[in-house]
Amino acid sequence: MTEVPATEGPVVAIPVYAGVSELELGMMVAVCRLCGGEGQARTVSRSRASIVTAGGLVSTPHVLYAALPEPAALLIPGGPGAAKAARDPLLREFLAGHAALPTGASGSGLLLPGAAGTLAGRVVGGPADLADTLWGHAPADVRPGEVVTDGLLTTTPSGLPALHAALAVAAHVWGEAAAWEAAERLGHA
């Protein structure tokens, strides 16, 4: 079992679940590592049991919700398992309890804060195929296929646009310069 090293500084919590997109998760973790160093991103779940990602990789969450140090921000990746994960009352409670933090959500990951009630009254972007579903969570507006920032919340379509959510959160947590440097190192202009 690999433990995440103890770190000083801000921690970004990334809820994970069976069927999470390893592309979106990987980009989010990479941005946090580039900006804050090893151990600044913590994958979190209700259990430390290994999960199978959307592509079949096996991953073990770093920490349980209850054992997570107080996070400075949240990143929420999408994936085909998001709809099921959105029904988890512990995850909904966790997200609702941290609604005031800088948050980035991508693709179907928007279903998680939606189920937690934290999209109400917000302008959100996201995947075009989820636009009707997102309207069910009472946002002020839904902009399908767009990256949208509304206050501390950045929402994006699925896949590579998740990088925008990660960089927006990194800018809040570690500063614009660190986020810009991470974007350059990842080849994102």
In the chain, the DSSP E strands lie at 12-15, 41-45, 51-52, 58-59, 63-64, 73-76, 103-106, 123-126, 141-144, 148-150, 153-156
- The overall pTM is greater than 0.75: yes
Residue 48, in any domain of the structure: yes
Domain extent, residue 173, equals: 12-180
| Band of pLDDT at residue 1, cut at 50, 70 and 90 | very low
Question: Residue 18: which CATH number?
Answer: 3.40.50.880
Residue 66, in any domain of the structure: yes
Q: How many domains does the chain have?
A: 1
Residue 3, in any domain of the structure: no
**Does pLDDT of 6 surpass 70?**
no
Residue 6, in any domain of the structure: no
Residue 1, in any domain of the structure: no
Each residue of 108-117: pLDDT tens digit? 999 999 999 9
